[in-house]
């Protein structure tokens, strides 16, 4: 821990929080990874239809809204 802290002191960085709605693709991948039992490679040619939609929304920079 001390070595990590010392290294961090030499870096110039900023930590910020982004709600999961702000990066739906990363949230979807994290949830998928959390439920995997073994390694799975994601094939770009054979993506889940919902994930393809999220990528398109992200690509055209449409906003996502946080509910609740």
What whole-number distance in Å separates Cα of residue 64 and Cα of residue 68?
13
What whole-number distance in Å separates Cα of residue 57 and Cα of residue 55?
5
Residue 21's pLDDT is what? 82
What whole-number distance in Å separates Cα of residue 66 and Cα of residue 68?
7
Show the domain range for 45.
Answer: 18-68
* pLDDT tens-digit profile, the chain (68 residues): 899 889 989 999 888 888 888 888 999 999 999 999 999 888 888 899 999 999 998 899 888 777 66
Q: Is residue 30 part of a domain?
A: yes
Phi, psi of 13 (to 5 degrees): -145, 165
Q: Is residue 40 part of a domain?
A: yes
The gap from C-alpha 32 to its chain's centroid, in whole angstroms, comes to 11
Residue 26's pLDDT is what? 92
Residue 67's pLDDT is what? 67
Residue 14's pLDDT is what? 85
This prediction has a pTM of 0.63
Q: What's the number of domains the chain is made of?
A: 1
């Amino acid at each position: 821990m001390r070595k990590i802290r010392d290294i961090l002191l030499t870096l110039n960085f900023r930590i910020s929080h982004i709600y999961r709605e702000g990066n739906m693709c990363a949230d979807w991948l994290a949830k998928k990874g959390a439920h995997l039992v073994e390694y799975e490679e994601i094939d770009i040619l054979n993506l889940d239809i919902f994930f393809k939609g999220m990528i398109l929304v992200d690509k055209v920079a449409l906003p996502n809204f946080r509910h609740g």
